[in-house]
Chains A and B, each alone.
Chain A
Amino acid sequence: MIALDDIRRILDAHAKLRVPAASVEPNDDLYASGMTSHASVNVMLALEDAFDVEFPDDLLTKTTFCTISAIGAALDTLVTVDA
């Protein structure tokens, strides 16, 4: 399982949220919290770097990066497959 706090750390660095990621619940809409689609690209790159994975095209959708839990679920599939 991916630790959600690892994701929060990356969100703090790259998502340009209006609030600290610590205050964002797993199912809160990150775009509603201020993440732009441009920032979501940087989040994706940082996640790839941190977890040593590559998001395939079919996961490169807005919903994949919409919430912390969605990001965690997507990473779980990639990390499991790569392990």
Chain B
Amino acid sequence: MSATTIQPTVTLAARAAVVAAIAAQYAADVDAAARFPHEAIAALREHGLLGTSVPREFGGESATLADLAAVAAVLGAACSSTGMIFAMHHSQVLSLTRHLDGAPALELLVSRIASEQLLVASATTELGIGGDVRSSLCFVDRDGQTATLAKNAPVISYGAEADLILVTARTDADSAPSDQVLVACDRDSTTLEETSGWDTMGLRGTSSRGYRLTARVDLERVVPTPYEAISTETMLPVSHTLWAAVWLGMSRAATEISRQYVRAAARRSIGSLPSGATALVGLIAELERFEALVTAAGARFDDLSADRAALGSVGYLVSMNNLKVTASTLVADIVARALSITGISGYRNEGQYSVARLFRDAQGAALMVHNDRIIANTAQLILVQKGS
């Protein structure tokens, strides 16, 4: 593993732009081969972008959620899969760093994420729980100072490529399904037996394969904070904001292609408005709404960051659920509009006006944690929500 070369003088934005250029270069091949974006992730590592969200006291840069969202959008515009991996990784990192509770082994682990630029994956879903990530079957099987975990996970995104996997499990053998903890498992002491591949319509580079996971960990690697709190105060708002940021980046890319297409058409028909020009106005208006949505989400979390009660409020939960549903709907709509504007040029898999890959990638947004499930969950929440 290469040593980190964080240069504090180089802004996050500048480093994101460098990595995005590399990600863009390989995006078509990543998509075609349904392979992990090794080049882009290596570049993230080289530029210190995997450890940037770690607090300064543990060797990171204390990047805010607004900072991370800005990077996620730039990456998402270049390669959707790279953007999603960045988003998922930092959702996991913050789930650790914000819930250390002074545990020495976890503090050490977090400082290693910064110094070694470790890639962190998660294993939350499990076969047999009906898709509810707030329930587990597997449990922390304790034996003295160590424990073993055995989880049949239908999806662990980039699990085979990660250095660390955060696994949800019931606290003990006789705990209720919702009594969960988060366990940080080293890839080296974790066995992954592949149970399903990842040959999908889009987001083909996230390598979200299914695995039968078995891990042996030191008990100190069990995060002391209950997963319920981690999920509410960090995982949910951070992941939904960063996913939205990636989808915003994809939307920017689709809009830029549309703009170039319309401008080229205008050059061929100077003096008359080219077809697509008025549709582009609507597209840009949608993009502006999306920009405002993501900016607000990042700023709101950073404002509330230390206010655990506010982050745990029903109103905030409803808002974060709605963010995911709205953002995933916006990206699908914007890319569909871009396809309509660019027409058969956009429909092609090749050429400078192709939006085919973006279109396929965008379809995943509504389905990864299905919007129907989130809306049903939100509907339950608003029954107990008081006026805001």
Contacts and interface: CB of A to CB of B under 8 A. Distances in A.
B263 interface: yes
Interface in B239-269: 263, 266-268
A54 B352 CA distance: 15
Contact of B271 (A14, A48, A49, A54): A14
A42 B272 CA distance: 9
B272 to A, nearest CB: 10
Interface string B267-291: 1101100000000000000000000
A42 B266 CA distance: 9
A14 B263 contact: no
A48 B267 contact: yes
Contacts of A14: 270-271
Nearest to A52: B267
A66 interface: no
Interface of B: 263, 266-268, 270-271
Considering the complex of A and B, which 5 residue pairs feature the smallest CB-CB distances, nearest first? A49-B267, A45-B267, A42-B270, A45-B266, A45-B270
B234 to A, nearest CB: 37
Interface of A: 14, 42, 45-46, 48-49, 54
A74 to B, nearest CB: 17
A46 B266 CA distance: 9
Contacts of B268: 49
A42 B268 CA distance: 11
16 contacts: A14-B270, A14-B271, A42-B270, A42-B271, A45-B263, A45-B266, A45-B267, A45-B270, A46-B267, A46-B270, A48-B263, A48-B267, A49-B267, A49-B268, A49-B270, A54-B263
A42 to B, nearest CB: 5
Given A14-B270, A48-B267, 14 more contacts: A14-B271, A42-B270, A42-B271, A45-B263, A45-B266, A45-B267, A45-B270, A46-B267, A46-B270, A48-B263, A49-B267, A49-B268, A49-B270, A54-B263
A50 B186 CA distance: 59
A49 B274 CA distance: 15
A76 B268 CA distance: 23
Contacts of A49: 267-268, 270
A77 B367 CA distance: 47
Contacts of B271: 14, 42
B269 to A, nearest CB: 9
